[in-house]
Structure 1
Amino acid sequence: MRRVGRGRRGGHCRYPLWGAGRRPRGAGDPAAGAVVAGGSPGAHRSYPGISGRVRRSWRRRLGLVGPLGRFRRNLWGIRGPELRGPFGGSVSTTTTPSPANRAAVPATTSSRATQVLGWLTLAGFAVLVALAFAWVPEDTRVTEQGDVVGQFDAVRLMFVHVPSAIMAYTGFGLTFLASLAYLRWRTDWWDVMAHSSAEIGVLFGVLTLVTGSIWGRPIWQTWWEWGDVRLVTTLVMVLVFIGYLAVRRIPADAAVKARRSAVIALVGAVNIVIVNRSVDWWENRTLHQQ
């Protein structure tokens, strides 16, 4: 930029950008604004009510406008690492992040701690299956008439069925909380957390339905009972979150998909309460125990 006008204390100074003011005003140009009496800024950095000498900073300065009057496009790459991000991480509104902020957009919630936790969970699940099918005795009892009744070996499935249902509740509940946080802060970290939790919830939700159906065949004499409220509401809950994952795969802008998925998660989470309380609200229309 260059300074145009009279002397240091003469006032009426203007600082046009390069390329401006090089030709006389034409017929189509707007008229110059009126000069207010006594409106001169006075000396450089000398304003009424402000005293003290000018402090000079010896840091490397960064101009917003380059020599040709264009805004610097690498401003984010220089200043970005020094800026404090919002709660939950940074946000991206494009499907493919730019090279400047690609490092700030999380592609996964994985870390060394979560990887260790995942392997421990897998090992614990293997131990649970081994104990359920090898160590736990079958469920039998003898009646007064001498008959042997019980669930027999089918009871072993309960050691997988019930924990799977709890994990499904947990996964869908975390999806609800993370989606709520995403709609509040619009940060990618919460969006990735909601997506990951939904995948875990769907996995264990399907496992819950499969093990429950296998258990019900020898105990209830049927693979499926449409009159059972808990069975039907659990199926609806799993289908809603399968639809949630399907929406995530629709080719669209990342921010649009995240927003739509978050709304679906909020609606689907209502069914978690219905599934949990169904045996109390419809106790005469379910085969499940309270």
Structure 2
Amino acid sequence: MDISKKLKNYRKDQNMTQEELSRKIGVSLKLIKEWESGISAPEDSELQQINNQIIVTDLKLPFYFGKPTSRKPFLILLIIPLLIFAIFIQVNIFVGILSGFLSMIFIYGLGFYDFRRYYAYFIVKKDGIIVSKEKELQLFPLISIIKGGLKIRKEEKIQYNDINYMNIFFDSDGFKGYGTSISYRPRQLYTTREVIMLQVYLKTNNEVINLNLDQIFYPDSKERKHILYLFKFFNQKGIPIIDDHKILKAINEGQSFIDSAYKKN
């Protein structure tokens, strides 16, 4: 990532002024202004100082990865089918129930929003990661979505000491398509994107917990902006990170991590 963007993003995320940032890093206010505007760039020694000071302990915890900030999609999923049910129940109760349920499946299947986010998000805290324990149903996890939307999902906390290592998994084999030879998925809809997840390997029973990293496909998402800090935080906790596709390296250099993953393949 360009150093000027890195400094600006960090400062804004921390609600700091340029003067406060200059004091934190230990350089003049003039240099901060020049670096952020792109007039000049830090020397190697100054860059090391920046990296040493702008550390992930400044990451605001708890950090909610993938949790929706709006309930509008959730309400759409519920209210429109209820209205359809109310209309068709006047014909027949069975027709009303069927029409409402089918409309709900239709809205879910459009792919304009990943409703699984309401229950599949994870929370990074100082002492561990809170993950969803809702059962993942592939076709239509309605109950889990409703529980997540109502904030009553089942959760489990994983202590950092219980983690053996983490692996950033990217499905670079691509979606082969339904009877096609497509090998490079479009990313407009979550249903047709490559799978990207964080596989957390626990020390006991060799259990693997899969955490959805899908939000980093969106450059403007808070998850994408904080992904490097997040994994540095995991490193500070003594957790080895496997990143065979060099996802983090590509993001750090301002490159497309998707292209990087496919080059590896």
State the structure with more CA Rg. Answer: 1
Normalised by the length of structure 1, the TM-score is: 0.26
Normalised by the length of structure 2, the TM-score is: 0.28
